[in-house]
Amino acid sequence: MGLVINSCYYDAFPEEEIIIDDPDTPIEDVSYQSDIIPLWAQCVGCHNGNEPPDLRDNVSYNELLNGFVVPGDAESSTLYKTLLGVGAPLMPPGSQWPDSKINLVKDWINQGALNN
């Protein structure tokens, strides 16, 4: 005669998933209005309607989405490439932005390039 033991385990409080921060993952949503538009302040001297893209506040978003930004894909976006000087002339000319500014633009594009 054999003995059958049946056991069941139920964890009423499952462990929370631990997520390790990835430095390439944006921590929060980037706002075009409050985070990105202020970056253009140093660009509008040249990009004021005479030199594309037009980065004046009232037209910059539509201008960027007209061939300079691929929403959701910074690596394919002309804007991002010019900030790095990769496959396009470096902008601003002669001095690359700090990584923090470039990453802000990258995150905004990768988050869908919303006009928020």
pLDDT of residue 9: 42
Q: How far is CA 88 from CA 4, 13, 19, 80, in A?
A: 72, 53, 36, 10
pLDDT of residue 25: 59
DSSP 8-state class, residue 92: S
Contact 54, 60 (CB under 8 A): yes
Ranges of each domain in the chain: 32-110
pLDDT of residue 28: 85
Q: What is the pTM of this model?
A: 0.76
DSSP 8-state class, residue 30: P
pLDDT tens digits for range 31-79: 999 999 999 999 999 999 999 999 999 999 999 999 999 999 999 999 9
